[in-house]
Copies of this chain bind each other. A is one copy, B any other.
């Protein structure tokens, strides 16, 4: 199939339409949370707060910036491993995330920060918007190279909406604990993306096969992304935890778990290669659904494992380990479950996994069908994984090689 990939009117129109909508909705709905409002000085006095440091900003800003780097540099460069899709990986990830965080601020705001007709935002909202977009970046991994930027914007619009609904059901209705986002971010994001790519299945994708692999430098760029994701994961998991010990503990746990995973992964990669060599990335999906970045293994399975472990752990938490206050603080109810027990919490946690999966599958089906319409400027099967479709690329020297030293160069020194 050969679609029209000229986006001259469709991409600008989509961008401008969405951005105008954002600006209007922000103008109507978004205001500052008290900690970010110019009246905070007065507010502080009335609440007997004496130190400027007791502003939510100082508890969360360093973690926020780390999470921000993960979304834009981490996910962006992680996907540069394809040999000629680096501009699109970084650039489209940038585009969808920039739109997504605006729409997430609104959607999550209506559900969680809505007071007297206004969404009140502060640093925690910024982090949650980045988290929500994280799930879109995960889904992007499955369809990488096979869609147009217009399709990505449409997917982002719907996925952020569904993410927010799912998050509301889990966190507010089921009162599930999901620090780190095993269910809301990873499970939902991965199975949403996998469903979309399954719907968009291309039987003749083999025509682009020679570009669906890495070259030496593209993998080195991908390492920049991988490392920033790995290093800042303690911030990701602790960014919106409760103040004090909870943030502290989340960071320590993530630091130790991540270190342990590296040795296990290296062992597995070497053992699976016939000469014992290391390969990156080595966990290819065995599913025949064209999952470009292997997100099923990278986010899907781990998300479900995380959800299950969470349910089991919640079932067996006890005040012996946590202290009475600590238990309530950590996994207790916010109010409406009078006969709350650890066991009950465990069941609600388990329910959260199924809700997330259902939301991902149904939502992915719906969005996949919309994206299948032949009007969004998607690339043909033989032009997938290629920056040249949507980007003006720099001209390379005539013989196709990157010349770095010019034999005709004559410096004018004496």
Which residues of A approach B to under 8 Å, CB–CB?
2-13, 15-16, 18-19, 22-23, 26, 32, 35-42, 44, 51-59, 61-63, 65-66, 68-69, 72-73, 76-77, 80, 83-84, 86-87, 90-91, 94-95, 98-99, 101-102, 105, 121-123, 126, 149, 213-221, 223-224, 227-228, 230-232, 234-235, 243-249, 251-252, 255-256, 258-260, 262-264, 266-268, 270-271, 273-280, 321-323, 325-327, 329-330, 379-380, 383, 386, 388-396, 399-406, 409, 411-414
CB distance from A269 to the nearest CB of B (A): 9
CB distance from A313 to the nearest CB of B (A): 13
Query: In the assembly, what is the distance between CA of A234 and CA of B62, in Å?
Result: 11
Query: In the assembly, what is the distance between CA of A271 and CA of B7, in Å?
Result: 8
Q: Which chain B positions have C-beta within 8 A of A98?
A: 258-260, 262-263
Contact of A243 among B7, B52, B258 (CB under 8 A): B52
- Do A221 and B220 contact each other (CB < 8 Å), given the known contacts A405-B396, A409-B388? yes
Pull 20 A–B residue pairs with CB atoms less than 8 Å apart, ordered by A.
Answer: A12-B266, A35-B244, A37-B249, A38-B246, A38-B327, A42-B325, A55-B248, A57-B248, A58-B58, A62-B65, A83-B394, A87-B220, A91-B278, A105-B256, A122-B248, A217-B402, A279-B392, A388-B405, A395-B405, A401-B402
Known contacts A5-B413, A39-B323, A277-B392; 19 further A-B pairs (Cβ under 8 A): A3-B412, A6-B413, A6-B414, A7-B276, A19-B260, A40-B248, A52-B243, A62-B62, A62-B65, A65-B234, A87-B280, A91-B223, A95-B263, A98-B258, A98-B260, A102-B256, A122-B248, A388-B411, A401-B401
A2 and B231 form a contact (CB under 8 A): no
B276 and A16 form a contact (CB under 8 A): no
Q: Which chain B positions have C-beta within 8 A of A213?
A: 394-395
Query: In the assembly, what is the distance between CA of A386 and CA of B412, in Å?
Result: 13
B11 and A390 form a contact (CB under 8 A): no
Interface of A: prevailing SS: helix
Query: In the assembly, what is the distance between CA of A401 and CA of B405, in Å?
Result: 10
B220 and A264 form a contact (CB under 8 A): no
Q: Which chain B positions have C-beta within 8 A of A23?
A: 260
Q: Which chain B positions have C-beta within 8 A of A39?
A: 245, 322-323, 325-326
Q: Which chain B positions have C-beta within 8 A of A9?
A: 271, 276
B126 and A270 form a contact (CB under 8 A): no
CB distance from A215 to the nearest CB of B (A): 5
CB distance from A111 to the nearest CB of B (A): 19
Q: Which chain B positions have C-beta within 8 A of A123?
A: 248, 251-252
Q: Which chain B positions have C-beta within 8 A of A326?
A: 37-42
Could you say which of A36, A105, A322 has the most chain B C-beta atoms within 10 Å of its C-beta? Answer: A36
CB distance from A196 to the nearest CB of B (A): 22
B388 and A271 form a contact (CB under 8 A): no
Q: Which chain B positions have C-beta within 8 A of A7?
A: 270, 276-277
Q: Which chain B positions have C-beta within 8 A of A278?
A: 87, 91, 149, 390-392
Contact of A57 among B37, B87, B247, B255 (CB under 8 A): B247
CB distance from A30 to the nearest CB of B (A): 8
Query: In the assembly, what is the distance between CA of A252 and CA of B390, in Å?
Result: 32
